[in-house]
Amino acid sequence: MQYDMIIVGSGSVGSAAGYYAAKAGTKVLMIDSGVPPHKDASHHGVTRIFRCAYGEGAHYVPLVLRAKQLWKELGEISGKEVLKQCGVLNLAPKDSRFMANIQKCVQQFNLKAETLSPEKVHERWAGITAPEDYAAVFESDAGVLNTELAIGAYVKLSKEAGAEQLFNTVVTAVKPIENGVEVETSVGKFRSRKALVSAGTWVRKLFPEMPIQPLRKTFVWHNAPEIYKNIPGFVITHKSHSYYGFPSDGIGLKVGKHNGGQYMQSLDEFLPYGAVAEDKTELLECLGAFLRGAGEAVHGEVCSYDMSPDSNFIIDVVPNIPNVMVVSGLSGHGFKFTSALGEVAALFGGGKESPIDLSAFRLSRFKKSSQL
């Protein structure tokens, strides 16, 4: 059967693309190696931070503002609290590039945000402390995304909109053919006019030239008193390290370290939490400096990042295969964007371009090096 679009990897980006494409009347086949949402992907772990005042750079903001609109719509359509707007607190040294970028985004895009002193932060949220030389920006309408509710909703809605779904199926190759693409799987071959490859960590199994490196990461829940139930989500820069966390839930206070981790060459290296010595020590400095009321670790899990060389996204067609779009290199900070990225891919499947400027995410930025 001939499709308009085949989606390889139907998790974070792929499930959204499936919904928006099918809703637009595109004949879609969604393929995934598991049944999304699942634990063998970057979206695992229930929650992700959503923020628009973006320390990684202002070029991300138009995309994340569109994502915000789409997350709200998804919540209304599905009846699920996909985005909980509990606010996000950004803490970083006053003279840091990260804080300068946040303040630039607030001003340039007129974001709803409040600058606080460390003293005011502690007055408002007694469980959080910060050094005197730190600045704080509180983004009140940011918050926390429930990854599994979001993907589950997109998968359900895409099927209702007419997308076909082929799960628990491994894709072994994506090849150009005349006027389209052929996707080889463990159950047969399928053809389409276009394809999206949003295969996350292991995209190089299909396209070895992609400058992506899989990275094993952990996040941990800690015992915490009641005061941590009403804190905002948070992002903390400390001594060249970056941390993030969430209001305490039924398990505890969830905290993770954004940088660090272990690069992987195969799934055999995707070890469970606790198998690497630093799993249980990498958060101690952050907890001691900023979250002093947090107690011992009660539960830890792992996920994977698909790292690009510069930690910026890759949103482009595959070299020499113009009918195939790849969305990868989300580098551990991409889930908040995935509703909008799915829309971008759906437009591609329908022969249209996104009105958002995506030039900063093209593969051409790597051509001057040996990375592509």
Pick the closest to residue 145 from 58, 233, 73 (CA basis): 233
Catalytic residue among 47, 147, 237, 338: 47
Active-site residue, selected from the candidate residues 51, 216, 217, 258? 258
| Nearest C-alpha neighbor of 26 from the set 328, 354, 337, 348 | 348
Which of these is catalytic: 194, 286, 303, 365? Answer: 303
Cβ 210 vs Cβ 203: under 8 Å: yes
Segments of 15-93 assigned E as strands: 28-31, 47-50, 83-84, 88-93
Given 23, 44, 204, 280, the catalytic residue: 44
Question: Is 352 considered catalytic here?
Answer: no
What 3-state DSSP class applies to 73? helix
Check: CB of residue 242 under 8 Å from CB of residue 258: yes
Catalytic hit among 254, 257, 333, 365: 254
Name the phi and psi angles at 111, rounded to 5: -80, 150
Residue 151 to residue 146: CA distance in whole angstroms? 9
- Is 28 within 8 Å of 4 (Cβ atoms)? yes
Instruction: Clarify whether 189 is annotated catalytic.
Output: no
Residue 236 CB partners (closer than 8 Å, separation 6+): 91, 92, 242, 243, 244, 245, 286, 290
Sign of CA dihedral 140, 142, 148, 152: positive
Q: Is 44 a known active-site residue?
A: yes
Sign of CA dihedral 262, 265, 271, 275: negative
For residues 89 and 49, give the distance between their C-alpha atoms in angstroms, rounded to a whole number.
10
Q: What are the respective helix, strand and coil percentages of the chain, to the nearest 5? A: 30, 30, 40
Burial of residue 84 (CB within 10 Å: 0-12, 13-18, 19+) is middle
Catalytic residue ranges? 44, 47-48, 254, 258, 303, 336
